[in-house]
Amino acid sequence: MSRTLVTYATNYGTTEETASFIAAQLRDAGHEVELVPATRVTDLSSYDAVVLGGPLYMGRWHREARRFVRHHRSALHDVPFAVFALGPLSLDEEAMAGSRGQLDGALAHLEITPDFVTVFGGVADPERLPFPFKRMTKKDARDWDAIHDWAEVVAHRLPYPVRALAGSVHA
């Protein structure tokens, strides 16, 4: 059985919800999964694969997601690695492409090429946000079917060393 770490960076809990959903899909596919906030991960040696999620805020990938990659970069090169980000509050093609470009830029700057990379719609929940954002309209652009489908692809391709066998695959 494959041992997979699903880890996440979040400020308001919506990336944690998404990571939890992905972890459940991986478990359903037969993976042994540990779901842990990125700030609490100290060692990757006991995992066969890693999935990392973090939101994009103001064009930047979450600070703790970037810190996780910097801290564990050499270990991440040795295991199958999947990344997701929560991005725009709209699923229109231009917004999604812009967020994907921001995530790809962050990953390039961190000098890491995950096996799987995707962006899902983001969330604005005024009940979870500080002032002055409390006046925003509530919006959840996550497409749970797309998240399910991505998790299913990742589940069936992990823990195989995709990069070592066929180069990088972006699903």
Q: Average per-residue pLDDT in the chain?
A: 87
Reply yes or no on whether the pLDDT at 122 is more than 60. yes
Mean pLDDT over 124-131 rounds to 60
Reply yes or no on whether the pLDDT at 131 is more than 60. no
CATH architecture of the region 3-163: 3-Layer(aba) Sandwich (3.40)
Reply yes or no on whether the pLDDT at 159 is more than 80. no
**Which two tokens mark 64?**
């703790």
Q: How far is CA 41 from CA 5, 119, 125, 141, 166, in A?
A: 9, 23, 27, 28, 28
Reply yes or no on whether the pLDDT at 99 is more than 50. yes
Reply yes or no on whether the pLDDT at 162 is more than 90. no
- Round to whole Å and give the CA distance between 166 and 140: 35
**What confidence tens digit (pLDDT) does each residue in 18-27 have?**
999 999 999 9
Q: Where residue 140 falls among pLDDT bands split at 50, 70, 90? A: confident
* Region of residue 17 (left: phi > 0; alpha: psi -120 to 50; beta: else): alpha
- Round to whole Å and give the CA distance between 87 and 54: 9
